[in-house]
């Protein structure tokens, strides 16, 4: 086989691969056009969905979902709204819960946080950036103790755990 034959062979292979990529590109464009023709489905901006897994101080893994394009069976955020990646860490030694949410592109004045004993709701809107997350807490907190700070796109919350009622033990006779 001569070098010219090798060049022709490689040229044909690259041409075939290029045609395959063009076909995939056309197919994806057609799929996006069809998806946008569904009423209420046209959302500007990125579409994403995923999971994050962390291991708390006690060694227990926690799996959290995030994104703006959940599978339909799990519910759907309002169109154009993103669910930020949120990490929650329970620190029983310090009696606090720490929450971190990634929300780039907004300012601290754009952020609204509300807390109950079992949930923290985070939302922010600035231009096309629209975030919303409802975080179910692993333990009850004192809502009035919640403190928040925002720096470099990361919202950090700290809340004190609600004091659990200490109960005196009772001796139970065994018969």
List, in order, residues 6 or more apart from 46 with CB less than 8 Å away.
68
Residue 40: the pLDDT is 53
For 110-157, the pLDDT digits (tens) are: 999 999 999 999 999 998 888 999 999 989 999 999 999 999 999 999
52-89 per-position pLDDT tens digit: 787 878 888 877 777 766 555 444 455 567 889 999 99
Which pLDDT does position 112 carry in this prediction? 95
Specify the CATH number for 49-160; select among 3.40.50.10790, 2.60.40.790, 3.40.50.720, 2.60.110.10: 2.60.40.790
The domain limits of the chain are 1-42, 49-160
* In the chain, % of residues over pLDDT 70: 78
Please provide the average confidence, as pLDDT, over all residues in the chain: 81
Q: Greater confidence, 44 or 21? A: 21
Q: Are 121 and 136 in contact (CB under 8 A)?
A: no
Cα-to-chain-centroid distance, residue 123: 13
């Amino acid at each position: 086989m001569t070098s010219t034959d090798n060049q022709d062979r490689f040229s044909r292979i690259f041409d075939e691969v290029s045609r395959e990529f063009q076909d995939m590109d056309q197919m994806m464009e057609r799929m996006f056009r069809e998806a946008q023709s569904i009423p209420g489905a046209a959302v500007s901006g990125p579409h994403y969905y995923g999971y994050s897994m962390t291991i708390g101080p006690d060694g227990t893994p926690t799996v959290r979902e995030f994104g703006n394009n959940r599978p339909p069976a799990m519910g759907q955020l309002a169109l154009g709204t993103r669910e930020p990646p949120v990490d929650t860490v329970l620190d029983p030694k310090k009696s606090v819960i720490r929450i971190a949410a990634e929300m780039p592109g907004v300012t601290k004045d754009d952020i609204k946080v509300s807390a109950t004993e079992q949930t923290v709701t985070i939302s922010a809107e600035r231009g096309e950036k629209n975030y919303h997350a409802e975080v179910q807490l692993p333990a009850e907190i004192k809502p009035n103790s919640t403190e928040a700070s925002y720096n470099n796109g990361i919202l950090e919350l700290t809340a004190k755990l609600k004091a659990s009622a200490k109960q005196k033990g009772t001796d139970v006779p065994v018969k």
